[in-house]
């Protein structure tokens, strides 16, 4: 899994912290989806080497796991609207 530095918002995220947080979210969605399909996703984070590589994922057959998290994946989205408190 690679971080796409072309999508980095350099003004608001100069150290790419949020970029890599989004990679982590994608990895978690991958783990949840893999479990739903009957696989275990083993994630190995890799050190920064300038290529953008963030993690190596390997899959192994496992018991299928159906969770609410899987069914919520396609409904998640970013809310860019201002927060209005109560």
Instruction: Please report, rounded to a whole number, the percentage of residues in the chain having pLDDT higher than 70.
Output: 99
Instruction: Give the angle 63-23-27 at the CA atoms, nearest 5°.
Output: 0
Q: What is the mean pLDDT of residues 64-81?
A: 90
Cβ atoms within 10 Å of 54's Cβ, excluding its own:
19
Is the pLDDT assigned to residue 86 strictly greater than 70? no
Burial readout 22-45 (b: 16 or more C-beta within 10 A, e: otherwise): bbeeebebbbbebbbeebebeeee
Q: What is the mean pLDDT of residues 50-72?
A: 94
Confidence of residue 48 (pLDDT cuts 50, 70, 90): confident
DSSP conformation class of 7? G
**Coil, strand, or helix at residue 15?**
coil
What pLDDT is recorded for position 1?
Answer: 95
């Amino acid at each position: 899994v690679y971080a796409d530095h072309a999508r980095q918002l350099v003004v608001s995220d100069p150290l790419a912290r949020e970029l890599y947080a989004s990679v982590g979210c994608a990895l978690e969605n991958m783990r949840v989806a893999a479990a739903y399909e009957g696989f275990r996703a083993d994630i190995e984070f890799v050190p920064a080497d300038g290529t953008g590589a963030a993690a190596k994922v390997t899959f192994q057959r496992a018991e299928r796991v159906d969770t609410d998290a899987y069914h919520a994946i396609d409904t998640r989205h970013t809310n860019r609207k201002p927060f209005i408190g109560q």
